[in-house]
Structure 1
Amino acid sequence: MISPLVTIVALCHNHAPYLREALDSILAQDYAPLEVWLVDNGSHDESPAILQEYAQQHPSWYLLLLPENVGNCRAFNQAFFRSQGEFVVDFATDDVLLPQRISQQVALFQSLPPDYGMVYSNCELLTEAGQPLGLHHQPDGHGGLVPRPASGWVFAEVLGRFFISTPTMLMRRATLLALGGYDETLSYEDFDFWVRASRDWRFQYQDAVTTRKRKHLRSMSAQVTRAHDPYLASTVRVCAKALALCRTPTERQVLAARLRYELRHALRRRQLAAAREVAGLLRQVARRGPVDYALTLLAYLPLGR
C-alpha cells in the first residue's frame, strides 16, 4: 500500500524557546512521505531566524514568514491551500510530536471508511518548562477515561462538552476543503472545525499518547477565565452556526445547554453584547424558563448595575 502524503503545517508565533524541540520532533517521525510548511505568524523573537535555519537545512520544507500576526486561522489557511497532503496536521511549534505520531494515525485512518474526517488521540500535558502535568485523557479508575472520548457521529457530543485534545488531530484534506478551510473571521479554530466537520464526517479516537502539549499562562484555557475573554465572540458565532446545523430535538437540547453555559459565562465576564446574542440564540433553540428570562434581563441592564 502506498503511504499517503501527510502535510504538517507548523505554526509559530514567538515560540523561540521551544521551536527547535518542536521541529526536531518532525524530523524524528518514523513516517514518510511528509510535506512540511513552516509558518511564522509575525513573531518578534528569534523564531524567524530559527525557521530560516531549518528551512535551509531541509530544502524540501516550505517557509512562509508573515510580516504581522494575521491570526491562527488565516495563517494556517495560507499554508493549507498551497499544500498537497491527503491528511493534515495543524502543529503549534510549542508542542512536540512523538516519533510514531503520524504513522499510528495514518494506519488508523487507512482502516476506517472514507467518511471519517478526523482522528485524534491522547496527549501528555507539559508546563512551560517542560515538566509533565499528566495526560489529557486520565484513567477514571473504572476502565474509562476522563474526559470520555467519543467516536463516530459526534456532532451532539462536540456541542455539549470539551473532550478532544486539539494538538492530536489528524484531519482529512477532503474534510478541510469541504469546509473551505478554517473560518478566518474567528479568533480560534478548533470548536468551529469540530462542529462543522462532525455534521457530515465521523471522528475516531485512538487510545495512544501521540503528542506533548505545552500549557501556558497565555493559552486559550487561561484567557477564558480572565475578566475579558477574547474568544467569546467567536464561540457565539460558532453556536449560531451550530443552530443552523441541528437536525434533531436531542441536538437542540444539547445546544440549549451549551448556550445557557455561555450566557452565564458572558455575564460573568460583563460582555453584555455577547450575552444578548447568546440569549437571542437560546430563544430560537428552546422554550425558556424563569432562570433564562432572568439571565436575559441581566444582559440588557446598563453596564455597572
Structure 2
Amino acid sequence: MSMKKPLVSIICTAYNHESFVENALRSVMNQTYASIELLVIDNASSDRTSERIEQFCQEYPHTTYIKNAWNKGLCTAFNQGLKLAKGKYIIDLSADDVLLPNRVEQQVNYFERLPENFGVIFSNAVYINESDQILCTHFDVDENGHALDTIPSGDVYRSILERYFICTPTMMIRRSLLEILGGYDESLTYEDFDFWVRSSTLCAYGYQDEILTQKRVLDDSLSQQVFRPGSGMLESTYKVCNKAYDLNRTQAEFDALANRIRTFIRKCFYAQEFELALRFRQLLTYIEDPGVTTECIIFLCKLRLPINRIYRLYLHHNVKNSPQRKDFRKNFVIPE
C-alpha cells in the first residue's frame, strides 16, 4: 500500500447480493490505485452472500468484515463501516455495483486538485442489468463519452431540491464532511437525498465528466421500492423535505422545494400512501398554495383508489419494452 497517496476507504454494504458481491469486491481489488482499505458489512443476508464474502476475505485477509446478526438498515450498516474507516476519502459501494479499474485513481487525482471547500465529487455511470448488459448512461453522452448537458457543480443545493441528478454510487466524499454530519441519518430508509440536502449547505460539489462506475438495476433494488406501499421510502423523503424547509435560504430554494413536494405527492398517490400525501400537502401549504392540480391529486388520495398494482405493472412494462430510452431512467432508475 502506497503511503504517498491519500488513503481511500471503500465501504461496501451487502444484503442478499450473492450473485454480485464477488464482482463488486474484486472491482475494488482491481483498481489501478493502491492506497485503498476495504470494509464490508453484510446486513444479515439470508442467501449465500456471507459465504461469498468470507471466501473473498480468505483471499484478501486485510479486508475488514462485519457480519450483522440482523438487518440494521442501509444507513446504520454504512455508519458501522464509517466508524472504522481511516481514509481521507470515502466511497459508499453497494454490493451489486462495480467500480471501473481507474475509478479511484481518477477521482483522487480530481479531488486533490480542488479547493478545500469541495466535499463531494461525482461522475457519470452506466446502468447494467442482472446479466451485466449495459442499458444506458446516467447522463446522455456524445461520441467522446462526455455529458451532453451542463451538470451542476459548486453550490448545488437548489439543484438538489429541483431534481435527482447525482448517481449515488459515483460519489467520493471527504471523511471529514461525513464526520461533521454524523454519518448517515439512521432513522431513514435510504441515504442519498438526506445526505445531499444536509451536505450541500456545507460544501461545494464537483462533477467529473467521466464514466467510472457500473450501477446495477434490479427489480428489487432499493430505488425501485419507492412505489411499494409501506416501504418507508416516501416517509423518509417526507422527513428530508422538512429538513430542507429549515435549511432553505432563498425564495428560489423554497420554490424548488415546493415543486419537488408536488412530485412526492403524486408518488404517494401511486404508492397508495394516502395519509402521507396529506402530510406532504400540509408542508406545501407552509410555502405556497397547493394549486388546482395538486388538490385534484389530494382528492383522489382521499378516495383511496387501488392504483398501485396497475402503476407498477405500467413501470415494469415500460422498462422491459424500452430499456434504452430516457423513459427507462425517468420511470425506473431515477426516483424523482
Q: Which TM-score band applies after superposition, normalised by the shorter structure?
A: over 0.9
Which of 120, 129, 132 aligns to 1:130? It is 132
Match status 1:18 vs 2:24: no
Query: Which residue number corresponds to residue 317 of structure 2?
Result: none
Q: Secondary structure at the match of 1:153?
A: coil
Q: Provide runs of 4+ in structure 1 moved above 6 Å.
A: none
- Residues 39 and 66 of structure 1 are in contact (CA less than 8 Å); yes or no, is this contact kept in structure 2? yes
Task: Report how many residues are paired.
Answer: 303
* Residue identity opposite 1:264 in structure 2: R
Which of 243, 250, 256 aligns to 1:248? It is 250
* Residue identity opposite 2:252 in structure 1: T
Query: Which residue number corresponds to residue 284 of structure 2?
Result: 282
Unaligned runs of 5+ in 2: 307-336
Seq. identity, %:
38
* Displacement of 1:195: 0.8
* Displacement of 1:293: 4.2
- Residues 148 and 163 of structure 1 are in contact (CA less than 8 Å); yes or no, is this contact kept in structure 2? no
- Residues 252 and 286 of structure 1 are in contact (CA less than 8 Å); yes or no, is this contact kept in structure 2? no
Match status 1:270 vs 2:272: yes
Alignment of 1:134-149 (within 5 A): 134-139=136-141, 145=147, 149=151
- Residues 281 and 290 of structure 2 are in contact (CA less than 8 Å); yes or no, is this contact kept in structure 1? no
Which of 156, 159, 167 aligns to 1:157? It is 159
* Displacement of 1:145: 3.6
For residues 288 and 14 of structure 2, the distance between their equivalents in structure 1, rounded to whole angstroms, comes to: 41
* Residue identity opposite 1:193 in structure 2: F
* Displacement of 1:73: 0.4
* Displacement of 1:130: 0.8
CA RMSD of aligned residues (A): 2.1
Specify whether residues 70 and 101 from structure 1 end up closer, same or farther in structure 2 by C-alpha distance, changes over 3 A only. Answer: same
Alignment of 1:42-121 (within 5 A): 42-121=44-123
* Residue identity opposite 1:242 in structure 2: A
With the length of structure 1 as denominator, give the TM-score of the two structures: 0.93
* Displacement of 1:7: 0.4
For residues 232 and 147 of structure 1, the distance between their equivalents in structure 2, rounded to whole angstroms, comes to: 29
* Displacement of 1:303: 3.7
| More divergent stretch after superposition (222-231 vs 95-104) | 222-231
| More divergent stretch after superposition (69-78 vs 13-22) | 13-22
With the length of structure 2 as denominator, give the TM-score of the two structures: 0.84
Which of 39, 42, 54 aligns to 1:40? It is 42
Which of 224, 232, 237 aligns to 2:226? It is 224
Specify whether residues 241 and 47 from structure 1 end up closer, same or farther in structure 2 by C-alpha distance, changes over 3 A only. Answer: same
Match status 1:259 vs 2:286: no
Cα deviations by residue, 1:198-233 (Å, 9 ceiling, x for unpaired): 111111110111111111011234323456654111
For residues 300 and 150 of structure 2, the distance between their equivalents in structure 1, rounded to whole angstroms, comes to: 34
For residues 18 and 291 of structure 1, the distance between their equivalents in structure 2, rounded to whole angstroms, comes to: 43
